[in-house]
Structure 1
């Protein structure tokens, strides 16, 4: 008779833990579902006339990995304890999969940034000459290699393995916060700030003279102040102001968000922080940087420029390539002040 109270207490202790496990799994599922919907919305909003590149392939692969993670968590939450292909899956694996994904995402910011930048530089300099099919296969191979390398590093690092063993429980599931994303965001925001300060007079002049015109059946901004007779130094400075206006015109809310996240001590889990809007923001920054660093090549008519899925950079280069734009294109608005 004396054993009954202790058994009742044991049952009462297990019920809150079970409810907490259910709440954690449901919360993770809702967060990842929201991220997947954001990924789909972003991929749907992009311009479809962009050519294949590394960043595009990686964004699609990230969306697929998020989907696999959501399906895995949902299946484990529903069945709770089952065997698949000889492997027993329990609620413990919800935390384990989330932690492994967080560590993998957290180590991918620098490699993706570096590879995408190299890809744009090589395409702009015409160093790589592959057919469309071979180029897609090459990007597919690089993306798979990046994912496998990051996952192998996560699973092979003794410190990470000990962290997974120490905290891999269903009632205590801390997630990894990436330092790479913080410093990458900090570097980009500071670069934008310095470039904005340097080109501040030109930016004001451009905004005052900016017009909206129709070019190639698209609405673009037109800056009529650029002259091909300018020296390379002046052209580079003018191009910098144009790039800043175009970039901030599209990504200014995201820049403000990055400033807020950098200013306040917010720890965003890596499986949330690595998302497709963030990657396209980095992509636009890389394209603008490659344009500015290769300013001398933008005067060539046969140069194939990287196309941004969100930012329309045509307004930066129309005066470089079309001399009589004001006679051939009809301006559709007055000067924007």
Structure 2
């Protein structure tokens, strides 16, 4: 799809504003998880991209000399397409790494002494992901930029690729969440027969309790976003690749991954005794309530 350069600038500017607003809102715990560190790096990359595109577009001569290399409006389209492809490729690796990070946080409560080491690891993994993805897109993939044949002075529109990874990721995670809920419900249905083991019964009820509370907390905060994703699934409309990866999407992904991990692992006894840590989340209040009887059994 051909998009005018001013429209691209408007989209990038709005994306940068949204990115930094959400980063500052989460400043108290932005460096306590992989997704927080990656969100900061994404905001920096988007800001650099917006500044470069703006400089090339508003320059009166239509080009800028940088280290004896002439940058023109061709490079606006080239940069937008390359970074859009990088953002699309990054979607699944970010999901996998963030899920592992959340799982380790929930199942093994990290000590304060490991906080600095955790930040270093997150920064290293973030830089490694950006580097490997850029190498893959530029050298190993079959990605081919689409550029106009006109002179750089006459270029006013760029071809923009669309991304479908957001819908793929959200659909996969929501299906996983649904399967975890069905699994907990099916275990509860089996309890209609007299149980042979009281401890197994308590564990099953605790599992159902965690799944129910986790899904309730998630839906209270992100119900409208789920409706928006459902509309995107039904309508034949695409998301521009250069806008697909943003901090708002990462915040939604953070809450969704926390819900999936809690429903899949269901650390009921750890949560009841305060031995399980929930990853930082600025949009969902992950507070679980358990009955005294359940806590005693746990």
TM-score, length-scaled by structure 2: 0.81
**Would the alpha carbon gap of residues 270 and 233 (structure 1) be closer, same or farther in structure 2, given more than 3 Å must change?**
same
For 2:291 and 2:98, locate their aligned partners in 1 and report how far apart those are by CA, in whole Å. Answer: 27
Name which of 136, 143, 148 aligns with 2:119.
136
Could you say which residue in structure 2 is the equivalent of 1:311? 284
Q: In the comparison of the two structures, how many residue pairs are matched?
A: 273
Other-structure match for 1:301 = 274
Partner of 2:13: 33
In structure 2, how many angstroms separate the alpha carbons of the residues matched to 1:154 and 1:321?
55
Provide structure 1 residue ranges, at least 5 long, that are not aligned to the other structure: 1-20, 201-227, 324-337
Q: Output one character per residue of 1:33-67: Cα deviation in whole Å (capped at 9) or x when no partner.
A: 11112223323444835761100000111111110
Q: 2: distance between equivalents of 1:154 and 1:27? A: 25
State the Cα deviation string for residues 82-123 of structure 1 (Å, max 9, x = none).
211222101100100000110000001100000001111222
Which ranges of structure 2 fall in alignment gaps of 5 or more residues? 150-154, 186-198
Instruction: Confirm whether residue 123 of structure 1 aligns to residue 105 of structure 2.
Output: yes
Please, what TM-score do these two structures have when normalized by structure 1?
0.72
User: Distance between the aligned counterparts of 1:88 and 1:319, measured in 2?
Assistant: 69
Q: How does 1:203-242 map to 2 (within 5 A)?
A: 231-242=202-213
Does residue 185 in structure 1 map to residue 164 in structure 2? no
SS at match of 1:88: strand
Please state if 1:84 is matched with 2:66.
yes
Q: Choose 1 or 2 for highest CA Rg.
A: 1
Considering only aligned residues, what root-mean-square deviation do their CA atoms show, in Å? 3.1
Bigger relative contact order, structure 1 or 2 (CA pairs below 8 A, ≥6 apart): 2
Query: Which residues of 2 match residues 1-337 of structure 1 at below 5 A?
Result: 24-46=4-26, 48=28, 52-79=32-59, 80-126=62-108, 131-157=114-140, 159-160=142-143, 163-164=144-145, 166-167=146-147, 170=155, 173-192=158-177, 231-296=202-267, 297-314=270-287, 316-317=288-289, 319=291
Say if 1:107 and 1:178, in contact at 8 Å, map to a contact too.
Answer: no
